[in-house]
Amino acid sequence: MRKHPRFAQATFSVVIAISTLTSFFASAASAAGRRIPAAAIHAVTHRHHLRHARRNPAALLAAERRVAHQRAVAHRAALHRAAERRAAEHRAAARWAAAHRAALRLSAARLAAARHAAGAVRLAHAEIPAGGVWRQLRSCESGGNYREDSGNGYYGAYQFSLSTWRAMGGAGLPNQAPYTVQDTLAERLQANGGWHSWPSCSVQLGLG
C-alpha cells in the first residue's frame, strides 16, 4: 500500500525534529559539562512527537500504544523488583530462624550434658562413702557400720552422741540417717573441732 505524500512528509519531519532535539540536548549537556538524564530527553522528545502526531490519528494511536507499552514494562519491572525483595527478605528470615533453632538445640544439648554430668557427680558422691582417713576412722569407731548402736549413747559410723549430732544440724538418731548425711556431719565436726572430736581413734590413727 502506497503512503500518502503528506503522511510521509509528516513522518520525516517528526524524525528530523526528534534527531534535532536529541542533538541539541547532547550539545547543551556537553557545553554545560554535565549529563542530562535520558528520561528528561525522552520526555521532551515524546511530547514533541505527540504534538506532531495529533495531526495524524494513526500516528497518535501508535504513540499512545508505545506509551502504554512502556508503562506496562516499567510496572512489570517494578513488580519483579518487589517480588525479588520479598523473596530475599523471606530467605533471610528463614536463615535467621534456622540459625536460631540450631542455637536452641545446641543450648539444650549443652544443658542436658551439664545436668547429666552434675547428676553423675551427685550419684558418685551419694553411692561412694568418704574414703581415705574417713574410712579408717569409721573402721576404728564402729567397724565401718553406719547402723551401729553401741548401747552407750553413741550412734552411727562415727559414734556421734545425740548432743553433738544435734549441734551439727542432724535430726533423729545418727545411725538412722543416710551415710551421706553421717559423712557430711562428721566432716563438719572435724572442721569445727579437729580430730580430737574422736580422742581415742585419732591417737591410734596418728591424726593431729
Which residues contact residue 204 at a Cβ distance below 8 angstroms, ignoring those fewer than 6 apart? 140
**Which one is predicted more confidently, 36 or 192?**
192
Question: Which is nearest to 158 in space by CA: 9, 206, 170, 119?
Answer: 170
The pLDDT tens digits of the residues spanning 33-77 come to 555 555 555 565 656 656 655 567 777 788 788 889 999 999 999
pLDDT of residue 28: 56
pLDDT at residue 44, rounded to an integer: 56
CB 146 within 8 A of CB 156: yes
Give start-end residues of each CATH 1.10.530.10 domain in the chain: 133-205
The topology under which CATH files domain 133-205 is: Lysozyme (1.10.530)
Give 84's Cβ-side CA count (13 Å radius). Answer: 6
Q: What is the largest CA-CA distance in the chain?
A: 140
pLDDT, position 61: 82
**DSSP code, position 175:** G
Which residues, including other chains, have CB under 8 Å from residue 63's CB and lie 6 or more apart? Answer: 46, 49, 50, 53
Task: Supply the pLDDT for residue 207.
Answer: 83
108's grid cell = 539444650
- Report pLDDT digits (tens) over 66-115: 889 999 999 999 999 999 999 999 999 999 999 999 999 988 888 888 77
**Spacing of C-alpha 179 from chain mean position:** 46
Which pLDDT tens digit goes with each residue over 144-167? 999 999 899 999 999 999 999 999
Chain mean position to CA 95: 11
For residues 127 and 201, the model is more confident at 201
List C-alpha distances in Å: 93 to 9, 25, 85, 89, 105: 61, 47, 12, 6, 18
Pairing of strands 154-155, 160-161: antiparallel
How far apart, in whole angstroms, are the C-alpha atoms of residue 207 and residue 136?
Answer: 11
